A = this chain, B = another copy of it.
């Protein structure tokens, strides 16, 4: 039934900027980038791809799975970002040399790498590609800003709802089917660290969403058929994701 024709690895960059207005970014740029990438690599859960302060010489694209950006302090972990397939994980390190955070897999993951040297050549030869790569890092920044707003504006149940609403939108952009079930490898502790609350309180927040009938979260998966209500509850507005639909207002 499946596997007769496997196109999933035909283009490593298939999901890169998928669902976005790629603008003057042409197929040829994508193919060139694709050709520069190394072989896909599989990594297990909990693998640290990059540590804060490491000097980077390659950039990594996420093909499958989830990766968390974390900052540690006094033994506690704080999650400052989530990557989904199609994201360059450490492209910030191309210009910054080092990252200010760790990158850790959440669940099994597949990635592919491209060297900074090749990236430098490609970007100098292809302005559109350079623009697209820049664009993708600005997208990260826009998501960061939304997370800041969420932490400033929302309580715990709303933050968790917003997180899943965002993942729903981002995964939809890359063609995942998340109509009624959004599966993730996240434990409630992971959710807590992403939302800036204690694990115990995250549990109560999950219970609250269940009470409200907005969704049921079990072992990382959110089951719901009320996405609109969930989004409204979280104050979710997809503008900041710069999807190819309408502008942000």
Chain A interfacial residues counted at CB < 8 A: 51
What residues of B have a CB within 8 angstroms of the CB of A104 in the complex?
none
A147 touching B149, Cβ below 8 Å? no
Number of copies of this chain that the complex holds: 2
Complex-state Cα separation, A178 to B134, whole angstroms: 34
What residues of B have a CB within 8 angstroms of the CB of A249 in the complex?
52-53
Q: Does A203 reach chain B (CB closer than 8 Å)?
A: no
Q: Does A49 reach chain B (CB closer than 8 Å)?
A: no
A95 touching B149, Cβ below 8 Å? no
Q: How far is the CB of A173 from chain B (nearest CB, A)?
A: 16
Q: Does A19 reach chain B (CB closer than 8 Å)?
A: no
A149 touching B71, Cβ below 8 Å? yes
- In order of increasing CB-CB distance, the 5 nearest A-B pairs are A53-B249, A152-B196, A144-B144, A151-B151, A141-B141
Which chain A residues have a beta carbon within 8 Å of chain B's beta carbons? 52-53, 55, 69, 71, 73-74, 76, 78-81, 92, 95-96, 98-101, 123-124, 127, 130-131, 134-135, 137-142, 144-149, 151-153, 193, 195-196, 235, 239-240, 242, 247-249
